[in-house]
Structure 1
Amino acid sequence: MERAPRILFAGGGTGGHVYPAIAVADAVRRLVPEAAIAFAGTETRMEWDAVPRAGYPIHPITVVGLQRRLTPANLVFPFKLVRGLVQSRRLIEAFDPDVVVGTGGFVAGPVLLAAHLHGRPLVLQEQNAYPGMTNRLLARWAAEVHIAFPEAQQAFPPGKCVLSGNPTRAALRTADPHEARRHFELPEGAGGAGAPVLLVFGGSLGSQALNAAMERHLAALLDAGDVFVIWQTGSRYFERLQARVPAHPRLRLVPYIDRMDLAYAAADVALCRAGAITCSELMVTGTPAVLVPSPNVAEDHQTVNARSMERAGAAVLLPEARLEADLVEAVRGLLQDPERRAAMAAAARAQARPDAAERIAHAVLARAGYRLATTV
């Protein structure tokens, strides 16, 4: 009797690393319900809560990032690296995975290195157009590297990349625009269309730069006469902004949006950062966007993501340095041009890969030596 596949996932630190891993794990479980799935992560980072909530066991690995500047924190790096490698070796021996999947973040380093030394096949998933350091270092040992942006293949060894896309939630593809408008109390016009809607968000924690620019220019955006604004501030900024921003019948000011599927379905234009998962969600939902890359991320990878979207005709790149000067013109230009929005939506959907999780899951199971009756 064929052994059920055993798959270990390693990735963490941010949602951009954690949620793609969970999406692929969910796809594996749909394909092979008896599969044994486990995660490796860091107790102090978000994966420690997100993975158990998704229904998977997680094992602790000690890891710390090497700072790019001279700092006393780097003195403990060698000791924690050794400890993490020992923990990773023990985990590989105990769980006995058929394949190990890395989605980036420092924790993937020791786990995948230990797996390689034990002769286990490695599969990487890279979310960004400019790959992270961990995946770049591990790629030499990987059997496959699944990428979301064509530009990423330049950073990896030839012949290893598969353009699979970023795994995204299935609910994004099935959200009903009518339900979305009701959810946010937005009017509907003939045929289900309504007043144009601008969706503003800076991730779950919010963006200080986006919030400051919106506070300054909100009146100019609402002066268009029929524009509605859904503005997710982030929980840490909400109370201050709620006290300072005047209430308006066409403004929906919220700390957090737990139904992003409905938010995308309601929006005509998004003003947001250019994280990899956000870009992939914009593609899947066909949402025209003004992308403001964060300048505070490694290797400025959000700018590379945004440029890829802009080249495809799916978004407008607005550097943070030009945010105050150009926000109103960039957003109004799209809200007032339905033909351009339609072209951008089509371009976004043309770049989308809504079956990314299933494609990667099939590849992972194949590397695990598990034979499926069908393939994607």
Structure 2
Amino acid sequence: MGNSISRRTLLKRGALLAGGLPFAASLLDKVQASPAIIKPGDVSIPYTEAWTEKQIALASPVPLKARLFANENPFGPSDKAKKALMEALPTAYQYPFRSMSDLTDKIVQFEGIKQDNLMMAAGSSPLLMAAALCTSKPGGNVITGDPSYEDLPTRATRMGEKWVKVPLTAEYKLDLVAMEKAIDPNTGLVYICNPNNPTATVVDTAELKAFVERVSKRVPVFVDEAYIDYLPDPQGTTLVPMANSMPNIIVARTFSKLYGFAGLRLGYVVTQPDMIKDLSRYTEGFMSISATTLQAAIATYQDREYLDAALKKTVASKEFLYEVLKKEGYTYIPSSANFVLFPIKMEGKQFADEMMKRGVGVRFWKFNNQEWCRVSIGRMDEMEAFAAAFKEIS
């Protein structure tokens, strides 16, 4: 009780000091939620479609044979990043002003963007939260694909927003035409995850650019490019240049995937200065990033030797998974990311429970009247563990 009250009070103070919405205190009252108490190794806990990676991790046996539920890069971070982490420890008592400047310089130069259009944070999650906060309005709504990544829209609903879910196309891609039609005077934000999670599909670049150019004239558009590094041509696909030159567009990138920084926490958005000013009211920005993380990022940013090697291993594990599924008589959605979604032949909870009993953690969804399993791409030994467990229950 005491700890809960303390956290709640601090959250309220932080929101108010940040110059947040006038209703910040009452808003945070609504946000408070009692997390399920989960005991490690308990695989009998009821699943829901909203089960998070955190809940699965806490409920899983330790150690897992295959941690395939969180879309992490099991091959990283790079040796250069690890070395930089260790070398940064002696001066970790210092605020990392210089390191932050060095990293932003690298990003600005590589992306060809303006310095004032870049905002860093400890992962993309704080930036998703900030976007949900600064675009929410009474009676408003946020538009996403269905299914898609739920972080931002879930936070928006806690602000009182309506979540407008637009079904995917027959190819399991975001339906840009239908999403545009869903916009109304109450729409505060359109959220695009590309490649999409959990389907790992990607929309046509030209169509997406045209969509964003049109829609951003009416409402803000948030383009989440968390998995773009897994595409053949990230620089030809990204909407960063549009966000760098046009208003009402936010493009998010993260180091959590191909760079292997999920636990180190580092991400950024590219958008116009006015939007950055709005976002900064609801997040600490670069001051939330550790000195060690910054040094690791500087050491590994655009390290093509490492990134290409990690990508090659990811592709090999993915191809192995495809073969396993085909041999067992299963289909799958071709993946443009580091995870694969495929339809399963039993109820999702039962499937996930049975896999967990065998030391393999996966996630599941239900949509289009079909149960689905999402498998994150792991090391080859993890994929082999998946295959062994899968063959027993398929």
TM-score, with length taken from structure 1 = 0.27
Q: Which has the higher contact order (CA 8 A, sep 6+)?
A: 2
